Amino acid sequence: MAIINSLSMDPKNGFCSETKIFHSLRPSIAFPPETTSVTSYVFSLLESHAPPPDTTALIDTASRHRILYPDLTLRIKTLAYSLKTKYKLSKYDVAFLLSQNSVHVPVLYLSLFSLGVVVSPSNPSCTIPEILRQIHLSKPVIAFATHDTAHKIPQLKYGTVLLDSPEFESLSATDSLDYYDDEERVRVSVSLSDPAAILYSSGTTGMVKGALLTQRNLVAAVAGGHAVRAARSRPAVVLCTVPYFHSYGFTCCLRSLGMGESLVCMGKFDFGRVLKAVEEFRVSHVVLAPPVVLKMARDGGTMDGYDLSSIEVVASGGAHLTLSVIRKFKERLPKVNLAQGYGLTETTARIFGTVGPKECQVVGATGKLLSNCQAKIVDPESGIPQPPSTPGELWVRGPFIMKGYVGDEEATAAILDSDGWLRTGDLCYIDDEGFLFFVDRIKEMIKYNGYQIAPAELEHLLQSHPDIVDAAVVPFPDEQAGQIPIAFVVRNRWSIIDESQIQDFIAQQVAPYKRIRQVTFVDSLPKNAPGKVLRKELIKLAHSKATSKL
């Protein structure tokens, strides 16, 4: 990368007036030697920044079983030994995972990484055809599942290991195997440039794709968190409710263990169990998907009776939070810092994030650029980089960026250019202080008579209405205008608000071309695991309703 003249770079936002590139102002990451796996890097952090020996590494909310840090490292090494010797797993083999969150999953991840095995986790709720598509992409030789999910997986070379079985427990049992006798025999040389994981993109913009992440990508995710960690008297207690198969939860559990925090593991999500876990384990940091933040903001009564005083930070990522939700959340929990992050599966999850109480006060921002990264805001039409506070497509570059899509050079070339810039497809701007603000997906912009309408803007206004619980806006074909904005609305149970009242409410606040032309009331909006609205499903529903009226 080119050397930047410090005089041409704004110290407030990292923007270089010569190159039109934003540079991270976070502390730089000092990468370990090339011959390092993310597992050995985590171990090195736990040695150099050792948590107190009585610190719990993993807590199971159901059984209340705890694993301390000294036992964690031994379990990881023992499991790696067992998998290498019993199943003959080799470097570059792929392991498919199909499981809810549990204490077993982070241990398995780190064991496999140490062997150079590529980890490929999937959503347990996926159908068999969806799983077959993912297996076709990743080509695993072994699978790890549970009794509830194993039937979805076809026969693989080394079969399927059940995580909730005595067999798996014995593989990591530190009292039944002394791996040290043969440690050198099973040692694998792993490099930062080696593949580490295949994570599946949401598929909302086409067929599902497998994003190939390297050991360097994962080391960067852990190191980026370590670079901005705040000093604490005791390690943080983190409840990550986001699935570990999703890039957000995947990197969260690795980063938490690398920082010596206590990671509270919960299986199937239940809001009441989340509140109970916060109270029982004195959770300081809760990692949530946006729909749960919305529930906490709107339905504060469900939190009555629980002691939530230990919560310092609620982290939200995976989808955008509207201003109205943020403000309602702050009214409900004024002492809690609401931290947002922006990222993609292709950027190893978070690449912008809010750090510390001061940044959390910037309402609507999704944080600042992470360590060692660069960004550009590019005009979608002209391709010209834009200055601060001007919207355009967000491009990012740095050690967090994936290697590419597995087996799909065409899709890789469409998103990654030869200079390493990843085109996010998101319309954003970076303000004068270096904060990122999300506007909308470029492909989801509605074009009405040549004007562009951002669905997110209308959704924010709709969700600010006291009678509306949730809302989504999608385009609908119109012979005269090209496209018109139509809304799907979830009303409060007691509300009798009708279509015309909603249309009037929006018309009073926007230019005429942005007015909503049609409202459909639904019980809920279709969303994926991280909370993104499945707009394609709503567009299909709109078309089916129109067809049925013909």
What's the mean pLDDT in 416-440?
94
Pairing of strands 422-430, 436-441: antiparallel
What's the mean pLDDT in 529-542?
84
Q: Is the pLDDT of residue 550 over 50?
A: no
pLDDT of residue 499: 95
pLDDT of residue 69: 96
- Tokens 């608000």: give the residue: 497
146: Cα within 13 Å, side-chain hemisphere:
16
> Helix, strand or coil for residue 24?
coil
> Helix, strand or coil for residue 246?
coil
- Averaged confidence pLDDT in the chain: 90
Q: Is the pLDDT of residue 299 over 80?
A: no
Contact 386, 394 (CB under 8 A): no
Q: Is the pLDDT of residue 508 over 50?
A: yes
- The neighbouring-strand residues paired with 228 are none
Angle between helices 69-87 and 38-48 (to 10 degrees): 160
What's the mean pLDDT in 115-125?
95
Q: Could you give the CA distance from residue 372 to residue 351 in angstroms, rounded to a whole number?
A: 10
Return all residues near 526 (Cβ < 8 A) that are at least 6 apart. 533, 534, 537, 538
Q: Could you give the CA distance from residue 112 to residue 104 in angstroms, rounded to a whole number?
A: 12
Quote the radius of gyration of the chain (alpha carbons, Å).
24
DSSP code for 9 = B
Domain at 445-549: CATH code:
3.30.300.30
518: Cα within 13 Å, side-chain hemisphere:
15
Pairing of strands 451-453, 446-448: antiparallel
The 3-class secondary structure across 196-208, one letter per residue, is EEEEECCCCCCCC
pLDDT of residue 5: 56
What's the mean pLDDT in 537-541?
90
Q: Could you give the CA distance from residue 76 to residue 172 in angstroms, rounded to a whole number?
A: 7
What's the mean pLDDT in 285-298?
88
DSSP-derived secondary structure for 125-192: T--HHHHHHHHHHH--SEEEE-TTTGGGSPP-TT-EEETTSHHHHHHS-TTS--GGGGHHHH-----T
pLDDT of residue 84: 93
Q: Is the pLDDT of residue 549 over 70?
A: no
Continuous segment of H or E residues that includes residue 61: none
Q: Could you give the CA distance from residue 440 to residue 445 in angstroms, rounded to a whole number?
A: 7
pTM: 0.85
Return all residues near 413 (Cβ < 8 A) that are at least 6 apart. none
367: alpha, beta or left, given left = phi > 0 and alpha = psi -120 to 50? Answer: left
Contact 539, 474 (CB under 8 A): yes
pLDDT of residue 484: 92
Q: Provide the residue ranges of all domains of the chain, joining segments of one domain with +.
A: 445-549
